[in-house]
Chains A and B, each alone.
Chain A
Amino acid sequence: MTDTLDALITKITGADANNFRLVSATLSAFLKQDDAENILRGTIQTGQDPLRVLSPSTTTLAYLYILSSRLSASGNGGVHPSYIAEFCQSFDPTAARFAPERITKLARLIVKYSESIRNPPFAILPLYHLVSRYPPSPAYLTTIHPIFLLSCITGTHLSAALPILSTPISQIDLLLSDLDYNDNLQYHYLGGVIFGALKRYEEAEDFLETAVSSPAHSPSAIQLEAYKKLILIQLIRHGKTIPPPKYTNTALTKQMKAIPQYAAIVRHYPTLKGPLQEVLAKEINFFREEGNFGLLTVAINHARRWALKNLNKTYLSLSLHQVASYIGFSNEDEARELVLSMVEDGTLSATLSPDGTLTFLEETLDSSAFAPEAVESMLRQAQDSGELLTELNMSIMKSRELLTKALKEKEASSGYAAAGSPGYDEEPDIWTGGRSGRRVDGLFDD
C-alpha cells in the first residue's frame, strides 16, 4: 500500500507508465484511502510542487488527479493558472479517457476557479482545449460540453463556442463520459441560446428542437424553456410556429400550449395591429421575467417583414400607402424603409418606383441550386446515409439485446407462432419506417 505522494508518483511513473488502465486502477485504489485527497494536495519530499515536476503530457493521469484534487481544496490549493492552461493544452487524451469522472470534475473546478479569481472568461480557453481534445471525435457528447457553453455565456464570449457547436453531436458513449440526461438537454439548450443571441436562427432552431424533442418520460424544465425559445425563433424564421416532431413528449406540448401569453403571441402573429399589441403591452413584464424579452423583441420586429411577405403572396403591385396601412405603419416613409431593407438583404424581390408603387417580382429560380452537381451531391448524401442506416440496422439485428427480446416476444406470442418473431427474413429497410423501424424503437422502450 502506497502511503506517500512520492511513493505513488514513483509507482505510476514507473515501468507501467504507459499502461493507462493499470495506472488508473492504482490511482482509484489510492483514492480509497481515507486521507487520499490530502496526500494528493501535498508536496513531494523535496518540498517541490508535484505539478512542476510532473509532465502533463506523459504523466497525464497523475497530473489530472493532483490538479483536480488541488483545485477542489479551499483557496484553489495554490494552483497557478498556467498549470491549468498547460494541462488542458497538452494532456494525453488516450490516458485521460481512463478517468472520465476526474475530467468532469476538473472542468467544473476550472469554472469555479475562474469565478474565484473573478475572471470568468479565463475558463473559456482551457475548457475549449479540454472539450476539443478529450473526445475521440467532435461528434461525441461529453460532460464538458455544457460546462464549456455555460462558461462561454457567463464569460460573454459567445462566438468562442462556435467551433464546438459547428459539429452536430451524433455519438454518445457512456464509457467516454458519465453523461446524464441533463448534459444533453443543457448542451442543446445552451447551444440554441448562443446561436439565437448570435442571430443564427436556423442553427438555434435545430438545437432547441433537439432539446425539446429529446426522449423524456416526463418533461423537464429545461425542455419547457427550450420550447418557449423555440417558438419565438420559429416566429422569426418562418412567421409561424411549426409543430414539434411527433416523438416529442406530449405532456410538454400540452404544458406549452397552456401558457396563455405564448399562445396569444402565436395566435396573433404576425398581425401587429390590434390584439398582438394589447398582449404585448399587458404582458411585457411577464416576458421580461421569463428572460425571453430580447428574443420577443426580435420576433416583433420581424413581424412586419412577415406581413410584407404575405402581401407578396396576395399582390403583384401596390402603393406604399397601402403597404403602410396593411402592416400598421403610421406613414409611408417607415414602409419604404422596411421595403428597402428587405430588398437589400435579399428577403424580398421587388422594385419600388419613384411614385411609390411597390411591384413584386416573380421569385427567380436560383439555377445553381438545381444544377446537376447539386442534384448529384444530394443523391450521394442520401446514398451515404442509406448505407449507414443499412449497416446500423444489420448491427442491431444481430445484437444480443434484440435477439433476446425477440425470443421473449416469440415465446410470449407462441399462440400464433407461425407469424414468428418480427421478420428476420425481411429486407433491412429502415426507410419504410415500418416494422423494422418500430423494432428499433421498441428495443429501447423499456
Chain B
Amino acid sequence: MASEVLAGEPLASYSGTAPAEPRNTKSKRRNVVISDAHPFDLEVYISQYTGRAAINRLRFIADECEQLAPQALQRAIQLIIQTRDASLYQRTVHEFNSRPSAADVIPYNSEWAEMTHAQNTSERERLETELKTYTSNMIKESIRMGHRELGDHYWSVGDYSQSLKHYNKSREFCTTNQHVLEYSLTALQLLLEHCDYSHIAAYIFKAEAAFAPPEGSKDSSKKSTVIHPPGSAAAAAAASAAANPDREKAQAKIDYANGIAFMAQGHYEKAAFAFSKLNRSLDDWFGTVVAPADIAIYGTLCAIVSMTRSSIKVNYHENESFGYFLEQEPYARELLDAFMNSRFSVVLDLLDRNSSRHLLDIHLNRHVSGITNEIRERSVVLYFQPFATVQLEKMSSAFGMSVSEMEILAAHLIQDGRIKARIDSKNKVLVVKENDPRVALYRRAFKTARDTQKLTEKLLFRMRLMQADLIVKAPKRDNHPSQQQIPSQFGSEVAP
C-alpha cells in the first residue's frame, strides 16, 4: 500500500485527497448540465447520505457540475464543520471562495479550524501514548484496539493513508476471525469512501478468509457463490439469510464492495451478479457508504449492459430482495421493464433523462458514457435479431435517433461482427447477410486442404533442414560475411 506519510501534520497532509486528484484534472472540463430534460435534485439526493459519504459526494458534484457547485460546496461546508477534518474545511472554503462567479464569500472560521486542529493533535498524542503503553505491555488485544482507534482518528481527520496504515497494523494483533472480519470491513469502507477500487479485491479476500472456518461446508458453498455466481445467486443468499443475520450483513457488505470493484474494472456482468445478491441486510452501510437508490441504479445498469435476458429475468426482474432497491429509484424498474420488453427508445430516453444523475454519481461517473454506448449497441443488436431486412428509418425511430446516426452505428456494429448484415445505403435498408452453408463448407474444405498441403510441404522441408543441421546458430565464429552483399533495396533499385 503506497502511503507517503507526512509526519503527523494533518493540515499539511493532503493524502486524503489522493484519489480525488486524477478526477479533478480529468473532469474539470466536463461540465454536467442540469436542465428540465436532465433533472437532478441535489437536496433529495444528498439527504440519502450522512457524514463523509455526503461530503465526498457534494465535493464531487461541485467538481463535476458548475451549476450546482455553490450549493454543493455550501452544503458540504455545513457538514464538514460537524466533523473534525480541519484541512478539508480549509480547502473547501477556499474552493468556494475562489470560484470565479463567487458572489458571496463564506468567511473562514479560523477559530474553529485552529481549535479542531489543536483538539486533533492532542487526541492523536493521547492515542499514540496509549498505544506505546500497550505495545510495551505486549497486550495483543489492547494493541489491536490502539491501532484501530488511531485508524478511526486519522479517518475522522481525513488522513486516509495513515488511517489505512493503522488499520493494517491492527490486523497483526487480531486474535479471532471476528476481528479480522471487522477489520477487513472497516478497511473496505475506507477504500470505498476514497474510491480506491484497485485494492478492494485484496480486502475482500481477507474478509472471506476470515469468514470461512467457523461454519463448515455450508459456508464454502456460499463463499463460492461470490466467485462463481450461479444462475440464481440471490436465492442462495436469501436461503442462508435466516441462518445468521450478522454473517448475512458481512456478506452483503462484501458483495457490495465486490460489485463496486468489478464495476470499476469494467467487468459489468460480474458486478451485476454481485449487486443482484444484495438485500436489506446491507442497512449498516445505508447512508454512510451507499444509498439504496444507488444500488438500484448500479445493479440495473450493469445488468442491462452485460447480462443475457434470461439472467436479468432471474437475477433482477424476479428477484424480490432486489425489488426493495428498485422501489427507491422507480425509474430503475422502468428501465428494466423497458429493456425486457424491447422498448429500446424508452430505455435510451430514460438513460438520457437520468444522465446527469448518473454522471454526478461518484462511482458511476467514469462509466456513464461507456455503459450508455454499450446499451445502445446491445439494443440495436437485439432489435435486429429477428429480422431479415429492416428499414433504417424504422430502426432509427425505434431508437430515437436520426437515420444517418443509425447508419453509422449499424456500420460500426457490422464491422465489429456483432450484426451479421449489410447496409443498403441507397435504399436505407439493413439486410441480413446471406450465407449458403454448402458453399461456405466447400470453401472451407478447399482452403483447409490447400493449407494442410502447404503446411505439410513446409514442415517436411523444415525437417530436412534440421536433419542436415542447417540451423541458424548464434554467430560466434563467423559474422555472416555474405550478408552484407544482400541488396535489401526493393523499389528503388530492383523493382521495375
Interface set of A (CB-CB < 8 Å, partner B): 150, 153-154, 156, 158, 168-174, 179-186, 189-190, 193, 196-198, 206, 209-210, 213-223, 225, 229, 245, 247, 249, 288, 290-295, 297-298, 310, 313-319, 322, 357, 359-360, 362, 365, 369-370, 378, 381-382, 385, 389, 392, 440-441, 444
B494 near A153: Cβ-Cβ < 8 Å: yes
Complex Cα distance, B436 from A368, in Å, reads 17
Q: Which of B's residues lie within 8 Å of A, judged by CB?
A: 411, 414-415, 422-427, 429, 431, 434, 436, 439, 442, 446, 449-450, 452-458, 460-468, 470-475, 480, 482-483, 485-492, 494-496
- Residues in A with CB closer than 8 Å to B468 are 172-174, 179
Among B426, B429, B474, chain A packs the most CB atoms within 10 A around the CB of B426
Given A314-B411, A317-B426, A218-B474 contact (CB < 8 Å)? yes
| B472 / chain A contacts, CB cutoff of 8 Å | 181, 185, 214-220, 223, 249
**A351 → chain B, closest Cβ, in Å?**
12
CB distance from A220 to the nearest CB of B (A): 5
Cα–Cα, bound, A222→B496 (Å):
23
The one of A154, A172, A385 in contact with B456, judged by C-beta atoms closer than 8 angstroms, is A385
Point out the residues of chain B lying under 8 angstroms from A369, CB to CB.
Answer: 446
Closest to B491 in A: A294
The answer to whether A193 and B490 have CB atoms under 8 Å apart is: yes
Are B465 and A172 in contact (CB-based, < 8 A)? yes
* Minimum distance in angstroms from B416 CB to a CB of chain A: 10
A294 in complex: contacting residue of B453, B465, B492, CB < 8 Å: B492
Distance in Å: Cβ of B73 to nearest Cβ of chain A: 41
Check A210 against B461 for contact (C-beta < 8 Å).
yes
A217→B472 CA distance, assembly (Å): 6
Most buried by B among A222, A288, A317, A440: A317
Are the CB atoms of A317 and B489 closer together than 8 Å? no
Shortest Cβ distance from A383 into chain B, in angstroms? 11
Inter-chain contacts of B483 with A (CB < 8 A)? 182, 221-222
> Do residues B415 and A170 form an inter-chain contact, with CB atoms below 8 A?
no
**Shortest CB–CB separation between residue A338 and chain B, in angstroms?**
18
Given contacts A150-B486, A225-B486, contact A179 B470 (CB under 8 A): yes
Q: In the complex, A441 Cα to B480 Cα: how many Å?
A: 27
Interface pairs A-B: 3 shortest CB-CB: A294-B491, A216-B472, A318-B425
Minimum C-beta distance from B482 to chain A (A): 6
Closest Cβ neighbor of B456 among chain A residues: A385
Q: Which residues of A contact B467 (CB under 8 A)?
A: 172, 444
Q: Are B462 and A214 in contact (CB under 8 A)?
A: yes
Closest-by-CB residue of A relative to B459 is A247
Which residues of chain B come closer than 8 Å to A290, judged between CB atoms? 488
**Taking chain A's interface residues, is the majority helix, strand, or loop, or is none over half, making it mixed?**
helix
Q: Residue on B with the closest CB to A139?
A: B461
Name, among A172, A185, A314, the residue most crowded by chain B CB atoms within 10 Å (CB to CB). Answer: A314
List 7 additional contacts besides A172-B465, A291-B488, A322-B425; criterion CB under 8 Å: A170-B461, A214-B462, A215-B466, A216-B473, A316-B425, A318-B425, A440-B463
Contact of A444 among B411, B442, B450, B466 (CB under 8 A): B466
A440–B490 Cα distance when bound, in Å, is: 38
Q: Check if A153 sits within 8 Å of B487, measured CB to CB.
A: yes
**Are B460's CB and A392's CB within 8 A?**
yes
Residues A197 and B495 in contact, CB atoms below 8 Å apart: yes
Q: Is the CB of B488 within 8 A of A225?
A: yes
* Residues in chain A near residue B426, CB distance under 8 A: 317-319, 357, 359
Q: A216-B472, A221-B480, A225-B486 are in contact. Are A314 and B465 (CB under 8 A)?
A: no
User: Shortest CB–CB separation between residue A402 and chain B, in angstroms?
Assistant: 12
Q: A170-B461, A319-B425 are in contact. Are A295 and B456 (CB under 8 A)?
A: no
* Assembled-state Cα–Cα distance A381/B452 (Å): 11
Q: Which residues of A contact B489 (CB under 8 A)?
A: 291, 294
Alpha-carbon gap, A440 to B462, bound state (A):
11
Q: How far is the CA of A217 from the CA of B471 in the complex (A)?
A: 7
Of the candidates A180, A190, A316, A378, the one whose C-beta lies within 8 Å of that of B470 is: A180
Tell me the bound Cα distance from A329 to B468 in angstroms.
53
Query: Given the known A-B contacts A223-B472, A314-B423, are A215 and B486 also in contact in the complex, defined by CB atoms under 8 Å?
Result: no
Contact A168 B415 (CB under 8 A): no
Closest CB in chain B relative to A204 CB, distance in Å: 10
The complex places the Cα of A12 from the Cα of B44 at a distance, in Å, of: 113
Cα separation A171 to B465 with both chains bound (whole Å): 9
A195 to chain B, nearest CB (A): 11
Smallest CB separation, B279 vs chain A (Å): 46
Q: With A215-B472, A217-B472 as known contacts, state yes or no: A190 contacts B461, CB within 8 Å.
A: no
What residues on B are CB-neighbors of A362 within 8 Å?
A: 434
Contacts of A392 in B (CB 8 A): 460
21 contacts between A and B (CB under 8 A): A169-B461, A170-B464, A172-B468, A179-B470, A181-B472, A189-B486, A210-B461, A218-B474, A219-B472, A222-B480, A291-B489, A291-B490, A294-B490, A294-B492, A314-B422, A315-B411, A315-B424, A316-B423, A316-B431, A370-B442, A444-B466
